[in-house]
Structure 1
Amino acid sequence: MSLRPTLETRRAVPTMEGAGVKLHRAFGFQDPSELDPFLLFDDFRNERPEDFIKGFPWHPHRGIETITYVLSGTVDHGDSLGNTGTLGAGDVQWMTAGSGILHQEMPHGNAQGQMHGFQLWGNLPSSQKMTAPRYQDVTAKDIPVVTDDDGTVVKVITGQFWGKTGPVDGIAADPQYLDVFVPAGRKKTFKIDTYRRAFAYVFEGAGAFADASSPSGVLLEKEVAGQELNIRDMSGDRTLVRFGTGDEVTVQAGPEGVRFLLISGAPIDEPVAWHGPIVMNTRAELMQAMQDLNNGTFIKPTH
């Protein structure tokens, strides 16, 4: 077994999207090969309705899949195919834009006015760029939850983990998407397929992700010896941790425990031509998508 090294740890950056939704972006619109097959990851979390209530009005997507995971509040959605629905706390929506879709996502706060969710963009390979659009809506009760003896809790959204299989399937990147909580002071190792790109996103508490060759590796050894954990070396709220190759990830939870998303997927390794919500392989395909939008042929027949 080989522990994955931590290539990079960085904080999500405040930005604004849609009609004025304040959010934090962990990655996106930079080097698409960095976390291939994943293109973008946003954390939309607000205490004030005025920071999110205008939402994400009608906009197009082509050539990608979007994964929306709601922790609190709700998100109403509708699309050009006539689909409508509402995502509640703990629900997941996996949208395959394929050949093209127009949709809107309108968030609403909970009883306290709070809203929290994540959106991940997954790329589609050239063979599936123009596939028919589809949705998978999954309610919280259908997402398997596994608990270990030490109090570690994992929600398996997609992929296989500890004998459970997530309910979202048929995804091009064949990803593993886990919501993980590790209790205070615990050290935990999670297996990841060697051939997948992987990252963690910390959103509650703090933890040290480590391997034998990094400074954090020394941190883990000290903790095993019973010495005090150095909080300065830990990844806290809204932190992205990008891993190198290997088949295991190890985390040492801080004094409040740590909760994070652990996401991995098989690289597509294809050229990327990207403009806003449209991601194709070539500039010519991108220009065709823009032309389709302008002349009203963006939405393709589904039969």
Structure 2
Amino acid sequence: MKIIRTNKAHATQDGAGVNISRIAGFDGRSLDPFLMIDELKSDNKSDFMAGFPAHPHRGIETFTYIRKGGFEHQDQMGNKKAIRAGDVQWMSTGRGVIHSEMPLADAEQGMHGFQIWLNMPAKDKMRPPRYQDTTEKKVPVLQNDTGIELRALAGTWQLEQQSATSSINELAGNGAIADVILPTNTETTLDISAHSKAIVYIHSGSIADTEYVETYQFEVDPKAPLTLKAGERGLGVLVLVGEPIREKIAHMGPFVMNTQEELHQAVRDYQMGRFGDIV
């Protein structure tokens, strides 16, 4: 594993006061084609029960993965879904989406999940929105004889001699995402050489013989094998790969476009009700 750069998530709030850890890359370089990694991890319901009331997006894709607890999603396209532990949800927002994400009642036992933003290329930012989830076609899971597990959240992945492809496989920038869980003192190597960008985010435990623990994120050279070795508390990581879009980014809150004028138009369209309403 060849590490290019490292970062550590910072604590912040979003929605109606939800406490999260965030890695942001709106510079268009550090995470490209990804823009942001938000992790919500708490057993204290006051950290998350206020949820994310109705809000808009344009020009991005949102990728939500729940490890514990759950949210109810609603949007102006008519989707109303309970996204629970093990589920993934993907929205390619295009020209505009309004949605809400509110905790389910059974999330009182705690919540652990992610929302990841991907940048959409300029040619796709104003296309109609799309929605997909895995509530019916579940995430494929690969496991070896040492108990190492790979959940293919998006795209195609391989664990040793096994491979699996998620039903969600059209992310911007040819993005693919996996959740890899290793028991204590186990080790595995992933071949990610088919991609130009690779990011690892630690959500549980630590990497053996390093300082890298929970909420550390690092970019690695995808041409080198990605070797993961769990520490004494085991290891859980998200692995995110894709192809950089390399386009200028103009960012304002929930909107990501290419120019300031496009941002101003997004605000005007939202204020004039052109995004629709949740019904």
**Normalised TM-score (structure 1):** 0.84
1:18 matched to 2:15: yes
In the aligned structure 1, how far is the partner of 2:150 from the partner of 2:230? 14
| Superposition misfits of 4+ residues, deviation over 3 angstroms | 108-112
1:169 matched to 2:169: yes
In the aligned structure 2, how far is the partner of 1:43 from the partner of 1:96? 20
- Aligned residue for 1:33? 29
Which runs of 5 or more structure 1 residues have no equivalent in the other structure?
209-229
CA contact (8 A) 1:53 1:107 kept: yes
Output one character per residue of 1:213-254: Cα deviation in whole Å (capped at 9) or x when no partner.
xxxxxxxxxxxxxxxxx4xx2311122122235242112211
Choose the corresponding residue for 1:125, options 121, 142, 145. Answer: 121
Choose the corresponding residue for 2:237, options 260, 265, 278. Answer: 260
Q: Determine helix, strand or coil for the equivalent of 2:61.
A: strand
CA contact (8 A) 2:35 2:118 kept: yes
- Aligned residue for 2:135? 139
In the aligned structure 1, how far is the partner of 2:211 from the partner of 2:193? 25
Q: Determine helix, strand or coil for the equivalent of 2:174.
A: coil
Shift of 1:182: 2.0
- Aligned residue for 2:185? 185
Shift of 1:160: 1.3
Shift of 1:52: 1.0
Q: How many residue pairs are counted as aligned between the two chains?
A: 273
In terms of Rg, which structure is larger?
1
In the aligned structure 1, how far is the partner of 2:30 from the partner of 2:134? 29
CA contact (8 A) 1:37 1:122 kept: yes
In the aligned structure 2, how far is the partner of 1:139 from the partner of 1:15? 29
- Aligned residue for 1:51? 47
CA contact (8 A) 1:183 1:257 kept: yes
Shift of 1:298: 3.6
In the aligned structure 2, how far is the partner of 1:155 from the partner of 1:140? 16
Q: Which moves more between the two structures, 59-68 or 188-197?
A: 188-197
Output one character per residue of 1:98-118: Cα deviation in whole Å (capped at 9) or x when no partner.
110111111236465311110
CA contact (8 A) 1:23 1:45 kept: yes
- Aligned residue for 2:267? 290
Shift of 1:262: 0.7
* 1:133–1:105 distance in 2 versus 1, CA, 3 Å: same
**RMSD between aligned residues:** 1.9
Q: Determine helix, strand or coil for the equivalent of 1:142.
A: coil
Shift of 1:20: 0.5
* 1:77–1:111 distance in 2 versus 1, CA, 3 Å: closer
Output one character per residue of 1:194-226: Cα deviation in whole Å (capped at 9) or x when no partner.
542111111111115xxxxxxxxxxxxxxxxxx
Q: Determine helix, strand or coil for the equivalent of 1:127.
A: helix
In the aligned structure 1, how far is the partner of 2:177 from the partner of 2:66? 14
* 1:31–1:189 distance in 2 versus 1, CA, 3 Å: same
Amino acid at match of 2:30: E
- Aligned residue for 1:237? 214
Which runs of 5 or more structure 2 residues have no equivalent in the other structure?
none
Output one character per residue of 1:260-297: Cα deviation in whole Å (capped at 9) or x when no partner.
11111111111111111101111111111111122222
In the aligned structure 1, how far is the partner of 2:47 from the partner of 2:142? 34
Shift of 1:81: 1.8
Q: Determine helix, strand or coil for the equivalent of 1:173.
A: helix
In the aligned structure 2, how far is the partner of 1:145 from the partner of 1:234? 29
In the aligned structure 2, how far is the partner of 1:112 from the partner of 1:64? 30
In the aligned structure 1, how far is the partner of 2:87 from the partner of 2:252? 29
In the aligned structure 2, how far is the partner of 1:20 from the partner of 1:168? 30
Output one character per residue of 1:164-196: Cα deviation in whole Å (capped at 9) or x when no partner.
111112222221211101232223211113542
Amino acid at match of 1:174: N
Q: Determine helix, strand or coil for the equivalent of 1:155.
A: strand
**Normalised TM-score (structure 2):** 0.91
In the aligned structure 1, how far is the partner of 2:104 from the partner of 2:36? 22
Amino acid at match of 2:148: T
